[in-house]
Every structure is written in structure tokens, then in C-alpha cells.
Amino acid sequence: MSDHPSTYEPKTGVEKWLDQRLPIVRLAYDSFVDYPTPRNLNYWWTFGGILSVCLMIQIITGIILVMHYVPHVDMAFNSVERIMRDVNYGWLIRYVHANGASMFFFAVFVHMFRGLYYGSYKAPREVLWILGCIIFFLMIATAFMGYVLPWGQMSFHGAVVITNLIGAIPVIGGPILTWLQGGFAVDQPTLNRFFSLHYLLPFVIAGVVILHIWALHVTGQNNPAGVEIKSKEDTVPFTPYATVKDGLGIILFLMLFSLFVFFMPNALGHADNYIPANPLVTPAHIVPEWYMLPFYAILRAVPDKFLGVVAMFGAIAVIFVLPWLDTSKVRSMRYRPVMRWFFVIFVVVCLGLGWCGGQLPDDMVFSIGTNSDGNPIGLNYVWLTRGLTFYYFAFFLIIMPWIGLKEDPLPVPASISEAILADHAKKKG
């Protein structure tokens, strides 16, 4: 809706004075008050607002934590515990920050699956989608470096494993690894620089979020019908319609958040991270945080070290080029009867990859007997992961382009208001 004319009228002298010099109130008014929003947005669309809240919560609690945290290998662990024990409300702030990361990722996954289902990446929203992918990538980097800071066993060995991924690159991997770690092992220099970058990156994310919202306001929001806004009947003003809906979504989300923070603050973490880091002993089960598990599973699915790393980064890279992989003329999967089922399978596959990422590769999913050596025969996690990984890539690289060409989509409504009328008729009938 780039052609949406500004309706802001400065009322007082001060507003007029400011509007002629820096029209910032006009910008806010046009973006968040009078902005025309599709009438048919459902609750999946509230996750954009929820994510802004998540980012704000993380930045505010993070700045407070930095006032008390000490980035030193001998003191980091104890300083985090001191925050939890002695700093006024420190337990609250730290638990909000730690669980906030999980909540942030939960919301971003929902937001991404929503974009995938309703075709929000399709022209003209490619740049909007790519900016979102950049945010997601930055979030992963930020979360990883933040997880290192308490300097527990999982922090330390997680940092070892992830930085060593870089070492898998032929020839230049070794020097880059040393450069990244600032030494020949993960140690004080690594902790210090991760702390610095963990503080920096959220502000970079905030910057990209502004670009993301800018791009959103240039193309206008997608909607469940996947048809562009045609007339004034298709829209409602952002305030109060979207604000009150987003507000309700945010409050319900905060209730889920509170359940974790106040009643099971450590449920999403690992017990091993309450053991101070010891470079000489690796925990028996080293697993990343739950939101990284699908990617970790893909890493382990490939037997070759370098190719495993390539597959893991490829799993993220493929999301970036998604706009050019989808050949369908129809945007929303509401009107794509075949693709919709492949989407459902894809969601299940992603959950399955997350599940496999938390298991030992050689453990059995199920066994149907034993062989002559007495070892169980059946499906082990590494082969299940390989199957799921294959589907993950096939979904983007084969199913997406192929189904788009072959599928007969359902009739797409001519406009958003027509889509709403059709919905109403369906409910009555």
C-alpha cells in the first residue's frame, strides 16, 4: 500500500512545527494508526507483534543482566548464580531472559510457518521474506553466543562443537577457527568476544526489524486469502482493529511465557549447564537448546564432517531462496489442496527433526528383532534423521517447484471482502 496517502493532520502548533522539520509523528501515525490492514487477518498474524515484544523484553532484561554479569571464565558461572540469589529480583530478570530466548524462537517458528502456509514470501514480498530470514539467522547467532555466557558445561562444550564447525571448511577452516576462538581452544578470549557480540547483535536485529517493517509497509500485509487489497472495503485501520487483536494475542502469549518463567524456569534448559565448565570432561549427552535441535539433527545426519556442516547451513540457506522455488500462481495454501498436505507433513518433519536432534544417533527408534551378533535390527535415529532430512530438502527443492506446476488450485476469491463473505456463507450452510 505504498500509494496510501497520509491522513495525518497536525492539530497543535507544536505538532505543526515538528511536522515541518521531522515528520516522525506523521510516520508513526501512518504506520501504526491509520495504516490500512486487511480485514481478514487471523490470529496467526498476531505473532509479528508478539515478536516485537519478545525482542524488547530480551534487550531490556539483557541490558540489566550486563550490569551484574562478569565475563570471566572463573567468575561467569558464579556471577550468574549471584544474580539469581542476591541481586534484587535478579532471579526474575534472568529467568525471563533465559526463557525469553525460547519464547522468541517459538514465536518466530510460528511466524515463519504462517508465512510459508499463506505464501507471504511470494512476489512482491521477496525482500520482506529475506529480511525475515536474516533476522532468523541473527537470532540463532545471538542465542548461541548468549548460551555460552553462563559458562556451564553445556555452554562450554556447545561453544566447542559449534566453533569447530568452522574448522570443517577445507584449508582455511583451521586459521578461521583460531581467529574466531582467539586461541587454540575455547577459553577466556572466546567468552569475552562472545559477550561483546551478544550485546551487539540484538541491536543489529532491531535495525533489520525496522527494514522488515519498512518492506512490509511498502508491499502491504499478506492475508489468509492471499489476494492483494483492492478497495477500502478490504481493509480496516490498524488502530484500533489490529492493535486490539495483537494486544490480545500478546497477553495470551505472555501467559504461556509466565507459566515457564514462574513455574518451570529450568524445564527448557539442561541440568548440565548448572555444572561449571570443565574443558577436560564432555557431558555424556551434549545437545543444543531445543530450538537448534532440527538443525543439529541435520548436521548429524550426514556422515561426512564438512558435508554435514554444509547441509546444516544449507537448511537455513534454502529458506532464503524460497520465493524463487515456489512455482505456484496461487499464494495461499488455503486454495492449494495438494500442497497443503505436503505442508502438514513438513511441519511434522520439522518437529521430528527436533526430536531426533535430542537423541543418540545409534539408539533405536524401534526394533523388530536381533541379528546374529545379538544387536537389534530396526530403525535407529540416524536413519530416521536421514529420512526426515531428505524430506526437508525435498520439500523446498522438489515438491515446491513441482507441485506448483502440477496442482489444480481451488478458485481464488476476487477480493478480501469476497473471501470473508464466502467464509460466512460456509459457516451458515
Query: For the window 99-118, what string marks contact with another protein as x by the rule CB under 8 A?
Result: ---x---x---x--------
- Residues 224-263 binding another protein (CB under 8 A) are 236, 240-241, 244-245, 247-248, 251-252, 254-256, 258-263
Whole-angstrom Cα distance, residue 388 to residue 386? Answer: 5
Which C-beta is closer to another protein: that of 24 or that of 348? 348
| x-or-dash string of contact with another protein, 36-55, rule CB under 8 A | ---x--xxx-----------
Residue closer to another protein by CB (options 85, 230) is 85
- Residue 429: alpha-carbon gap to chain centroid: 39
Number of other residues whose CB lies within 10 A of the CB of residue 57: 18
Kindly report the length of the chain: 429
Give the range of 13-21, 59-67, 153-161, 386-394 binding another protein by CB under 8 A. Answer: 153-161
Q: How many CB atoms lie within 10 A of CB 300?
A: 20
In the numeric block, the cell 527436533 is attached to 354
CB-count exposure of residue 131 (10 Å: 0-12, 13-18, 19+): buried
Question: Which parts of 162-252 are beta strand (E)?
Answer: 235-237
272 lies in the binding site for another protein (CB under 8 A) = yes
Query: Which residues neighbour 327 within 8 Å (Cβ) at sequence distance 6 or greater?
Result: 400, 401, 402, 404, 405
In the bound complex, what is the minimum distance in angstroms from residue 236's beta carbon to another protein? Answer: 6
**4-33 residues near another protein, rule: CB under 8 A:** none
Count interface residues toward another protein (CB under 8 A). Answer: 88
State which residue, 79 or 142, has the beta carbon closest to another protein.
Answer: 79
Minimum distance, C-beta of residue 280 to another protein, in the bound complex (Å): 4
User: By C-beta, is 131 or 180 nearer to another protein?
Assistant: 180
* Residue of 91, 137, 313, 343 interacting with another protein (CB under 8 A): 91
Site for another protein, residues 156 to 215, rule: CB under 8 A = 157, 160-161, 163-165, 167, 178-180, 182-187, 189, 193
Minimum CB distance to another protein, residue 274 (Å): 4
Site for another protein in 406-425 (CB under 8 A): none
Cis-peptide into 240, omega within 30 deg:
yes
- Tell me the three state secondary structure of residue 315: helix
Work out how close the CB of 286 gets to another protein at its nearest, in angstroms, rounded to a whole number: 5
N-term to C-term CA, the chain: 34
Instruction: Please report how close the Cβ of residue 347 comes to another protein at its closest, in angstroms.
Output: 9
Contact 194, 159 (CB under 8 A): yes
Nearest-approach distance from CB 114 to another protein, in angstroms: 11
CB of 118 to another protein, least distance (A): 14
Tell me whether residue 128 or residue 302 sits nearer to another protein (CB atom): 302
Q: For 324-415, where are the alpha helices, taking DSSP H only?
A: 337-357, 381-394, 400-406
The residue among 7 and 278 lying less far from another protein, judged by its C-beta, is: 278
Using alpha carbons, select from 276, 279, 265, 318 the residue that is nearest to residue 295: 318
- Within 339-368, which residues bind another protein (CB under 8 A)? 351, 354-355, 358-362
CA atoms within 13 A on the CB side of 4: 24
Name the H helices within 149-290.
Answer: 153-166, 173-181, 188-219, 243-258
Burial class (CB in 10 A: 0-12, 13-18, 19+), 273: buried
**Do the Cβ atoms of 408 and 365 come closer than 8 Å?**
no
Contacts of 229 (CB under 8 A, 6+ apart): 1, 36, 38, 220, 235, 416
* Minimum distance of another protein from residue 136's CB (angstroms): 17
Closer CB to another protein, residue 3 or residue 362? 362
Query: Of 350, 178, 358, 20, which Cα lies nearest the Cα of 8?
Result: 20
Q: Which of 84, 138, 169, 364 binds another protein (CB under 8 A)?
A: 84
Q: Which is nearer to another protein, 146 or 158 (CB)?
A: 158
- What's the Rg (C-alpha) of the chain? 24
Cβ 345 to another protein shortest distance, Å: 16
Q: For another protein, give the closer residue by CB, 10 or 308.
A: 308
Footprint (CB under 8 A) of another protein, residues 274-333: 274-275, 279-287, 290, 293, 300, 303-305, 308
